[in-house]
Amino acid sequence: MTVTEAFALDAGRFRSDFPVLTTRSRSGAPLAYLDNAASTQHPAAVIDAIADCYRGYYANVHRGIHTLSEESTERYERARKTVARFLNTEHARELIFTAGTTAAINTVARAWGSANVGEGDHILLTMAEHHANIVPWFQLATQVGAHVHFVPLTDDGRLDLESVARMLDALRPKMFAFTAVSNVLGTVNPVAALVEMARERGSATLVDAAQAAPHGPVDVREWGADFVVFSGHKVCGPTGIGVLYGREAVLDAMPPFLGGGAMIHRVTTRGFEPAPLPEKFEAGTPPITEAIGLEAAVEYLGHVGLEAIGRYERQLVERAEAGLREIPGLEILGPAPEHKAGIVSFAIEGIHAHDIAQWLDTRGIAVRAGHHCAMPLHQSLGITASTRASFYFYNTPDEVDAMVDAVGEARDRFRKRGRKRQ
Ligand SMILES: Cc1ncc(COP(=O)(O)O)c(C=O)c1O
């Protein structure tokens, strides 16, 4: 029995934990959910944790002197500790709950950026960034008169460390913000090496781990970055919650971003004193139930095993690419499977990505088509859109094969139509 077959049996077992995966698509075909880079599905353990909170002990946190509020506060802070362990932070107070990756990056760009980036300064990104790690930096640059630059990728969609070093040397950017895993190409970046290169040149670092945290262990101490961010809904958790990790000294020195209740130590008619970490960055009522759902999600992933998830997904990627390569006119984007997390994007000459995705939907297969919030990357590849299949540990080799077959059918069908029109 191959490793894939061995793990596929486990994938089958895990599937039954996910109620939605037993449903059928509109077409009547069994659902093959291959849109995990957009958002993952939820195991019963997460759904139950959220329902248990609302049913059993929900109240606002950090303010009530009553039993429910105390229990709810205790569970919310327990969730922080669990997620902090998931990232191996030094202290739980370095873990700020936000509304998601986008909210976390905006917090850093606004709060850290306004205190540390000024006129004529530089911010370095890579060509593989999601708009969430581009637009907030442009907004900051416009506000303070700074400049945003992009490290180009190699022809096979990887970061060339010499180009990174050259740009760091030439620009001495205040911030180097980059993704750990590309949401389009699947490319896995050497995070610790990139952070070290930036630190040696005096640049702060932010790592967008939105596509890394679902697919393998994230150890923020090993990475050494100033900030690491990810979203709950991509790790089997709820929407409306994400994480901003910051090194304690950096967060302590950073001014608060949103102002309001809960983030203050004292307010007088003359001003306010911010609360200590982590409350300083959690103004207003936080995402209480969502944090408890996220805790259940990361505990569940720990039970599945993050190393095993990464290994298994790489096998699904290899299988998908081997099949897709047989389809004439199809180009797989990004590097070879050994450099990828569980994402395969491709383009077929003369056929729009939306047509392919729509055809796959008629077969019960959910993939994403478009620019995937990465327009600069698509521009650099000379295309406007791509089709993306993104896998998770509950996907099976059969689903991958069904996707490959359906893409082949789509190619034949739309190519014939194109020919008839000529
Ligand atoms: C690499 C990356 N960064 C950031 C985001 C934004 O995440 P969210 O929409 O959860 O804020 C995504 C979402 O697809 C992503 O893939």
Is the C-beta atom of 315 inside 6 A of ligand 1?
A: no
pLDDT in tens, 271-320: 999 999 999 999 999 999 999 999 999 999 999 999 999 999 999 999 99
Is the distance from CB of 114 to CB of 122 less than 8 angstroms? no
Is the distance from CB of 100 to CB of 231 less than 8 angstroms? yes
The pLDDT value recorded for residue 376 is 96
Q: Which ligand 1 atom sits nearest the alpha carbon of residue 233?
A: 10
Average pLDDT in the chain: 95
Is the distance from CB of 75 to CB of 54 less than 8 angstroms? no
Whether residue 130 is predicted with pLDDT greater than 50 in this model: the reply is yes
The pLDDT value recorded for residue 418 is 62
The pLDDT value recorded for residue 261 is 94
- According to the CATH classification, is domain 47-302 in 3.40.640.10? yes
* Residue 283 DSSP symbol: -
Is the C-beta atom of 390 inside 6 A of ligand 1?
A: no
Whether residue 421 is predicted with pLDDT greater than 70 in this model: the reply is no
pLDDT in tens, 71-113: 999 999 999 999 999 999 999 999 999 999 999 999 999 999 9
pTM for the model: 0.96
Residue 9 pLDDT class (50, 70, 90 cuts): very low
- The amino acid that residue 210 corresponds to is A
The pLDDT value recorded for residue 25 is 83
- Which of 64-68, 257-261, 270-274, 313-317 shows the lowest mean pLDDT across its residues? 64-68
Q: How far is CA 35 from CA 10, 157, 342, 382, 418, in A?
A: 20, 21, 11, 24, 27
Q: How far is the CA of 130 from the centre of ligand 1 (A)?
A: 7
The pLDDT value recorded for residue 419 is 59
Strand partners, 161: none
| Closest protein CA for atom 9 of ligand 1 | 102
Is the C-beta atom of 130 inside 6 A of ligand 1?
A: yes
Q: How far is the CA of 129 from the centre of ligand 1 (A)?
A: 10
Distance of CA 18 to the CA centre of its chain: 20
Is the distance from CB of 176 to CB of 204 less than 8 angstroms? yes
The pLDDT value recorded for residue 5 is 47
Is the distance from CB of 237 to CB of 254 less than 8 angstroms? no
Query: Could you tell me what percent of the chain has a pLDDT over 90?
Result: 92
User: Any idea which residue has 């999601």 for tokens?
Assistant: 130
Whether residue 134 is predicted with pLDDT greater than 80 in this model: the reply is yes
- What sign has the CA pseudo-torsion 58, 63, 67, 71? positive
Is the distance from CB of 128 to CB of 375 less than 8 angstroms? no
The pLDDT value recorded for residue 2 is 44
Give the residue among 401, 285, 409 at the shortest CA–CA distance from 351: 409
Catalytic site positions: 373
Residue 404 pLDDT class (50, 70, 90 cuts): very high
- Hey, where are the domains in the chain? 3-39+306-421, 47-302
Phi-psi map region of 172: left, alpha, beta (phi>0 left; psi -120 to 50 alpha): left
- Provide mean pLDDT across the span 56-78: 94
The pLDDT value recorded for residue 24 is 86
Q: Which ligand 1 atom sits nearest the alpha carbon of residue 181?
A: 1
Whether residue 207 is predicted with pLDDT greater than 50 in this model: the reply is yes
| Closest protein CA for atom 12 of ligand 1 | 210
Whether residue 136 is predicted with pLDDT greater than 50 in this model: the reply is yes
CB atoms within 10 A of CB 16: 12
Whether residue 391 is predicted with pLDDT greater than 50 in this model: the reply is yes
* Residue 262 DSSP symbol: T
Is the distance from CB of 240 to CB of 264 less than 8 angstroms? no
Q: How far is the CA of 101 from the centre of ligand 1 (A)?
A: 6
- What whole-number distance in Å separates Cα of residue 324 and Cα of residue 337? 13
Pick the CATH number of 3-39+306-421 from 1.10.1740.10, 3.30.2310.20, 3.90.1150.10, 1.10.3720.10: 3.90.1150.10
Q: Strand pairing of 227-231 and 242-246? A: antiparallel
- What whole-number distance in Å separates Cα of residue 290 and Cα of residue 31? 26
Whether residue 1 is predicted with pLDDT greater than 90 in this model: the reply is no
Q: How far is CA 363 from CA 249, 269, 324, 357, in A?
A: 52, 63, 17, 10
Q: Which ligand 1 atom sits nearest the alpha carbon of residue 179?
A: 1
- Provide mean pLDDT across the span 343-356: 96
- Residue 187 φ then ψ, to 5°: -55, 130
